[in-house]
A and B are shown apart, each in its own frame.
Chain A
């Protein structure tokens, strides 16, 4: 599976939008982009996924670059509960995820 690159950590103020970037320059045409997050002392939790088009759900939005070599997870209004490690993963749908070290998001009250 192709590799992803994310910043180690980011900070955001509560109630403000957060944009979490992910680079995946070696993505192939059949790779889906999945985002999971892991809250302290919990297993990873699904956030959103997409292939080519931007996606929205109740938790977040996913913006995918036209060349698909990068994507951005958007949390529209960060809350303290959104403090977690966010993982960007490329997968061909086999669920054999290759996790990186992710981005640790800190939300400031």
Chain B
């Protein structure tokens, strides 16, 4: 186990609703990245938070937003859910040491939009 925990593990939402996913990073890690993984595809980078500030964003619309808290845990919020938002959402935390370290991924939250 990596020490990165995500909640909930599964949830089902209706199109148009809003959802909040949570990630508790590994102790000492101040950087959290979020990824979306559609079935059969590799994870796609959504955005990254470093010390509570957004630090880079992938090709996702503004209805995908996030927060990072002083304890470095993080939330991913998705508004106006669409059917194509159904995916596994992964968070990864990383140590502030830079290039010579690894990122630790959580088990993911499986979101189904109906």
List residues of chain A with CB under 8 Å of any chain B CB: 32, 34, 36, 41-46, 49, 85, 87, 91-102
Q: List 23 A-B contacts (CB under 8 A).
A: A32-B99, A43-B2, A43-B4, A44-B43, A44-B92, A44-B105, A45-B2, A45-B105, A46-B103, A87-B42, A91-B99, A94-B56, A95-B31, A95-B48, A96-B45, A96-B58, A97-B33, A97-B43, A97-B45, A99-B35, A99-B44, A101-B41, A102-B42
Q: Is the CB of B108 within 8 A of A96?
A: no
User: Does B73 sit within 8 A of A, measured CB to CB?
Assistant: no
Shortest beta-carbon distance from A22 to chain B in Å: 13
Are B103 and A49 in contact, with the CB atoms below 8 A?
no
Count chain A CB atoms within 10 A of each CB in B4, B43, B100 and give the residue with the most: B43
**Is A93 a contact partner of B103 (Cβ separation < 8 A)?**
no
Within 8 A of A (CB), among B1-55: 2, 4, 31, 33, 35, 41-45, 48
Interface residues of B toward A: which range? 20 to 34
0/1 string, B92-114, CB within 8 A of A gives 1: 10100011101111111000000
**Which residue in B103, B104, B107 is a CB contact (below 8 Å) of A97?**
B103
Q: Which residues of B contact A (CB under 8 A)?
A: 2, 4, 31, 33, 35, 41-45, 48, 56, 58, 90, 92, 94, 98-100, 102-108
Distance in angstroms from A99 CB to nearest chain B CB is 3
Query: What are the 3 closest A-B residue pairs judged by CB atoms, nearest first?
Result: A93-B99, A43-B105, A99-B42
- CB-CB under 8 A from B94, the residues of chain A are 95
- Considering the chains assembled together, what is the distance between the CA atoms of A100 and B104 in angstroms? 18
Closest to B106 in A: A43
Complex contacts, A41 vs chain B, CB 8 Å: 107
A contact residues around B98 at 8 Å (CB): 93
